[in-house]
Amino acid sequence: MNLTSPRQVKEWCLANGFHPNKVLGQNFLIDKNALDAIIDAAGLPPGAPTRVLAIGPGRGVLTEGLLQRGCRVTAIEKDPVLADRLAGSLGSPANLTVNKGDALDFIAGGACDDYPFLVSNLPYQAGTRILLELVQRLSPAVMVVLVQTEVADRLVAGPGSKTRGLAGVWAQLDYDVKAVRKVAASCFWPRPEIGSTVVRLVRHHRNDNLSAAARDAFHRYTKLAFEHRRKQLGATFKNSELPEAAFELPIARTGKKESIPLARTRAEDLSNADWLAFVSAVTAPAENG
């Protein structure tokens, strides 16, 4: 069966009494060029079989492509119908393991740790949460994901961008994030309302020396700041017991020549380096005490 053929995919769904679930964000990739671009973006090493994690494999189009390149694939599929039929529809290959259940449960239990690669067309509804759970666990080392374009824009956004948000700030703490290419809505069945983008995340190790306390503070303070993104940070943290010196740190606003105190900036104005300087200032008293 040609998994990139819309006609054959529809026939399979009818024959198996399967209806794509909007709640689970089931939109199947049916474009061969997009498929090849996603796998190529992973930069899989030649030679020995590479362990690859695939979350939300659906009908298995990406999984099949990875298997054809000699990868050992562990797939996690929430939909029981698709999970039960995935291996058989691909010829029951020895280098494929299918786990049935919610990917978030597998991630929380550590089952997704220590994979060198993730290559996935992530479910639309849960894709961002899945990705953020993975980046906080610092695994896999390389992730190539197909997500909604609006999600991709947030992941790659830099300081000063209107699309800068918590997803990008958290992902960029330990990963270099790059948009690889856009994928039109017509490349999926059923056709979604908006297009998607291939995003590549590569672990950069620049912040490996951060303490557990600093990481916790980074996530805690950025989360609070982006919950009140229209406020200046001085107002957001007004009633906190944070040291005043932390809010006097100079922040260079994008497109501006002068630096201004952090207290007069908003969450999206700060680079990750700015956030780490802030975290260092607010955690230093406790660590030194």
Predicted pLDDT of residue 23: 57
CB 147 within 8 A of CB 195: no
Q: What is the largest CA-CA distance in the chain?
A: 67
- Angle between helix axes 166-174 and 272-288 (nearest 10 degrees) is 70
Residue-averaged pLDDT of the chain: 89
pTM of the model: 0.89
- Report whether pLDDT(256) > 80: no
Q: Are 131 and 147 in contact (CB under 8 A)?
A: yes
Q: Which CATH architecture has domain 6-203?
A: 3-Layer(aba) Sandwich (3.40)
What is the pLDDT at residue 132?
A: 96
Cα separations in angstroms, 121 against 34, 76, 127, 222? 11, 12, 9, 28
Asked if 178 and 41 count as a contact pair (C-beta separation under 8 A), the reply is: no
- 11-29 as b/e: b if 16+ CB within 10 A: ebbeeeeeebeeebbbbbb
Gap between the Cα atoms of 158 and 57, Å rounded = 30
**pLDDT above 90 for 42:** yes
CATH class entry, domain 212-288? mainly alpha
Picking from 235, 150, 249, the residue whose alpha carbon sits closest to that of residue 199 is 150
Please report the pLDDT score of residue 258 as a whole number. 64
Phi-psi region of 168 (alpha: psi -120 to 50; beta: other; left: phi over 0): alpha
CB atoms within 10 A of CB 211: 11
What are the domain boundaries of the chain?
Answer: 6-203, 212-288
Mean pLDDT, residues 267-280 taken together: 92
Write a three-state SS string for the chain: CCCCCHHHHHHHHHHCCCCCCCCCCCCEECCHHHHHHHHHHCCCCCCCCCEEEEECCCCCHHHHHHHHCCCEEEEEECCHHHHHHHHHHCCCCCCEEEEECCHHHHHHCCCCCCCCEEEEECCCCCHHHHHHHHHHCCCCCEEEEEEEHHHHHHHHCCCCCCCCCHHHHHHHHHEEEEEEEEECHHHEECCCCCCEEEEEEEECCCCCCCCHHHHHHHHHHHHHHHHCCCCCHHHHCCCCCCCHHHHHCEEECCCCCCEEEHHHCCHHHCCHHHHHHHHHHHHHHHHHC
pLDDT digits (tens, 9 = 90+) for 144-156: 999 999 999 999 9
Condensed to tens digits (0 to 9), the pLDDT of residues 95-131 reads 999 999 999 999 999 999 999 999 999 988 899 999 9
User: What's the pLDDT at 218?
Assistant: 96
pLDDT value of position 246: 82
Six-digit token string for 12: 């399979």
Adjacent-strand bridge partners of 100: 77
Higher pLDDT pick, 61 / 55 = 55
